[in-house]
Structure 1
Amino acid sequence: MKKRIMRFLHVSENDYSMVFTANRTSAFKLLAESYPFKTSRKLLTVYDYESEAVEAMINSSEKKGAQVMSAEFSWPRLRIQSAKLRKMVEMKSKRKKTKRGLFVFPLHSRMTGARYPYSWMNIANENGWHILIDACALVPKDMDSFGLSLIRPDFLICSFYKIFGENPSGFGCLFVKKSTVPFLEDSVSAGMVSLVPAKKTFRLLDEFSGTDSDFEHLSKLGLQEDELDSSNSFSGPISSQTMHSGRVEQGETSESQTTGTTAKQEVSKISEIVESGKSAEVMRQENGILEIECRGLDQVDSLGLTRISNRARCLINWMVNALLKLKHPNTGEIPLVRIYGPRVKFDRGPALAFNLFDWKGEKVEAPLVQKLADRSNISLSYGFLHHISFSDEYEEEKATVLEKRVNGAKGTVTNKRKEKAGLGITVVTVALGVLANFEDTYRFWAFIAQFLDADFVEKAKWRYTALNQKTVEV
Structure 2
Amino acid sequence: MLHSPGLREATQAFVQGCCSNSSSNMPELSDTTTSKPTGTLAACRRNFIESTDSFFFPNTQFTNHESLPSMKESFTQFKKAFPQFLETNKVDLIRATEYNHLSLSNHVCLDYLGIGLFSHSQTIPDCSSSSPPPHCSDFPFFSTLYKSVNLKTQLLHGDHSSELESAIKKRIMDFLNISEDDYCMVFTTNRSSAFKLVAESYPFRSSRKLLTVYDYESEAVEGMINTSEKRGAEVMLAEFKWPRLRIHSDKLRKMLLRKKKQKRHRGLFVFPLQSRITGTSYSFQWMRMAQENGWHVLLDACALGPKDMNSFGLSLLHPDFLVCSFYKVFGENPTGFGCLFVKKSIIPILEDSTSTGMVNIVPSDMVFRSSTSSPGTDMEHEQTFRTGVNEAGMSNPSSLFHYISIQTEVPAELKDKKLSDYEMQSSKFSRNANGKTKNFEKSVLLTVQEKKPEFGANGSLEVKCRGLDHVDSLGLVQISNRMRCLINWLINALIKLQHPHTENKISLVRIYGPKVKFDRGPALAFNVYDWKGEKVEPILVQKLADRSNISLSNGFLHQIWFSDNYEEEKETLLESRCEEKERNKNKKTCNGITVVTAALGFLANFEDTYRLWSFIARFLDADFVEKERWRYTALNQKTVEV
TM-score normalised by the chain length of structure 2: 0.63
When residues 123 and 375 of structure 1 are mapped into structure 2, their CA distance, relative to the original with a 3 A threshold, is same
When residues 116 and 424 of structure 1 are mapped into structure 2, their CA distance, relative to the original with a 3 A threshold, is same
1:189 paired with 2:360, answer no
In structure 1, the residue matched to 2:324 is 158
Q: Could you tell me whether the CA contact under 8 Å between 1:133 and 1:155 is conserved in 2? A: yes
Deviations 1:16-47 (A, max 9, x none): 00001111111111111111112211000000
In structure 1, the residue matched to 2:11 is none
Question: Aligned match of 1:384 in 547, 556, 581?
Answer: 556
Question: Aligned match of 1:336 in 492, 505, 508?
Answer: 508
Q: How does 1:196-207 map to 2 (within 5 A)?
A: 196-201=362-367, 203-204=369-370, 206-207=372-373
In structure 2, the residue matched to 1:250 is none
In structure 1, the residue matched to 2:488 is 317
In structure 1, the residue matched to 2:465 is 294
1:461 paired with 2:632, answer no
Letter in 2 for 1:451: F
Higher relative contact order (CA 8 A, sep 6+): 2
Q: How does 1:44-443 map to 2 (within 5 A)?
A: 44-92=211-259, 96-145=262-311, 147-161=313-327, 164=330, 166-201=332-367, 203-204=369-370, 206-207=372-373, 209=376, 210-211=379-380, 214-219=384-389, 223=392, 244=393, 246-247=394-395, 261-263=396-398, 265=400, 275-276=425-426, 284=448, 286=453, 289-332=460-503, 333-406=505-578, 412-413=581-582, 416=585, 418-443=586-611
Letter in 1 for 2:569: E
Q: Could you tell me whether the CA contact under 8 Å between 1:219 and 1:266 is conserved in 2? A: no
> Per-residue deviation at 1:328?
0.3
What CA distance in whole angstroms lies between the structure 2 residues aligned with 1:174 and 1:283? 31
Q: Could you tell me whether the CA contact under 8 Å between 1:24 and 1:157 is conserved in 2? A: yes
> Per-residue deviation at 1:303?
1.8
Question: Aligned match of 2:185 in 1, 18, 21?
Answer: 18
> Per-residue deviation at 1:169?
3.8
Letter in 2 for 1:322: A
SS at match of 2:342: strand
In structure 2, the residue matched to 1:447 is 615
1:2 paired with 2:176, answer no
Q: Could you tell me whether the CA contact under 8 Å between 2:306 and 2:476 is conserved in 1? A: no
Deviations 1:54-93 (A, max 9, x none): 0000000010111000111100000011110010001439
When residues 206 and 282 of structure 1 are mapped into structure 2, their CA distance, relative to the original with a 3 A threshold, is closer
What CA distance in whole angstroms lies between the structure 2 residues aligned with 1:354 and 1:205? 52
Deviations 1:322-346 (A, max 9, x none): 0000000011321000111000000
1:38 paired with 2:205, answer yes
Q: Could you tell me whether the CA contact under 8 Å between 1:351 and 1:430 is conserved in 2? A: yes
Letter in 1 for 2:175: F
Q: Could you tell me whether the CA contact under 8 Å between 1:75 and 1:391 is conserved in 2? A: yes
What CA distance in whole angstroms lies between the structure 1 residues aligned with 2:253 and 2:175? 33
When residues 270 and 435 of structure 1 are mapped into structure 2, their CA distance, relative to the original with a 3 A threshold, is farther
In structure 2, the residue matched to 1:254 is none
> Per-residue deviation at 1:100?
0.8
When residues 412 and 204 of structure 1 are mapped into structure 2, their CA distance, relative to the original with a 3 A threshold, is farther
> Per-residue deviation at 1:263?
4.8
SS at match of 1:55: helix
> Per-residue deviation at 1:183?
1.1
What CA distance in whole angstroms lies between the structure 1 residues aligned with 2:193 and 2:405? 18
> Per-residue deviation at 1:267?
7.5
When residues 270 and 445 of structure 1 are mapped into structure 2, their CA distance, relative to the original with a 3 A threshold, is farther
SS at match of 1:194: strand
> Per-residue deviation at 1:266?
5.1
Letter in 2 for 1:330: H
Q: Could you tell me whether the CA contact under 8 Å between 1:27 and 1:157 is conserved in 2? A: yes
Which ranges of structure 1 fall in alignment gaps of 5 or more residues? 224-243, 248-260
What CA distance in whole angstroms lies between the structure 1 residues aligned with 2:187 and 2:212? 23
When residues 205 and 12 of structure 1 are mapped into structure 2, their CA distance, relative to the original with a 3 A threshold, is farther
What CA distance in whole angstroms lies between the structure 2 residues aligned with 1:167 and 1:269? 21
Q: Please identify the structure whose Cα radius of gyration is greater.
A: 2
What CA distance in whole angstroms lies between the structure 1 residues aligned with 2:515 and 2:535? 20
When the two chains are superposed, the root-mean-square deviation of aligned CA atoms in Å is 2.8
SS at match of 1:160: strand
SS at match of 1:105: strand
Q: Could you tell me whether the CA contact under 8 Å between 2:290 and 2:297 is conserved in 1? A: yes
Letter in 1 for 2:619: F
SS at match of 1:293: coil
Q: Percent identity?
A: 66
What CA distance in whole angstroms lies between the structure 2 residues aligned with 1:431 and 1:59? 28
When residues 464 and 4 of structure 1 are mapped into structure 2, their CA distance, relative to the original with a 3 A threshold, is same
When residues 163 and 425 of structure 1 are mapped into structure 2, their CA distance, relative to the original with a 3 A threshold, is farther
What CA distance in whole angstroms lies between the structure 1 residues aligned with 2:559 and 2:614? 32
What CA distance in whole angstroms lies between the structure 2 residues aligned with 1:48 and 1:264? 34
What CA distance in whole angstroms lies between the structure 1 residues aligned with 2:446 and 2:623? 50
> Per-residue deviation at 1:134?
0.3
In structure 1, the residue matched to 2:64 is none
In structure 2, the residue matched to 1:227 is none
> Per-residue deviation at 1:398?
1.2
What CA distance in whole angstroms lies between the structure 2 residues aligned with 1:432 and 1:268? 38
TM-score normalised by the chain length of structure 1: 0.84
> Per-residue deviation at 1:434?
1.4
The count of corresponding residues between Structure 1 and Structure 2 is 431
Q: Could you tell me whether the CA contact under 8 Å between 1:11 and 1:148 is conserved in 2? A: no
> Per-residue deviation at 1:275?
3.1
> Per-residue deviation at 1:301?
1.1
What CA distance in whole angstroms lies between the structure 2 residues aligned with 1:165 and 1:450? 25
When residues 359 and 432 of structure 1 are mapped into structure 2, their CA distance, relative to the original with a 3 A threshold, is same
When residues 83 and 22 of structure 1 are mapped into structure 2, their CA distance, relative to the original with a 3 A threshold, is same
Q: Could you tell me whether the CA contact under 8 Å between 1:37 and 1:66 is conserved in 2? A: yes
> Per-residue deviation at 1:147?
4.0
SS at match of 1:116: coil
Q: Could you tell me whether the CA contact under 8 Å between 1:282 and 1:294 is conserved in 2? A: no
What CA distance in whole angstroms lies between the structure 1 residues aligned with 2:405 and 2:468? 23
> Per-residue deviation at 1:141?
2.4
What CA distance in whole angstroms lies between the structure 1 residues aligned with 2:388 and 2:598? 41
What CA distance in whole angstroms lies between the structure 2 residues aligned with 1:107 and 1:283? 40
Q: Could you tell me whether the CA contact under 8 Å between 1:75 and 1:389 is conserved in 2? A: yes
What CA distance in whole angstroms lies between the structure 2 residues aligned with 1:337 and 1:168? 29
> Per-residue deviation at 1:298?
0.5
SS at match of 1:368: helix
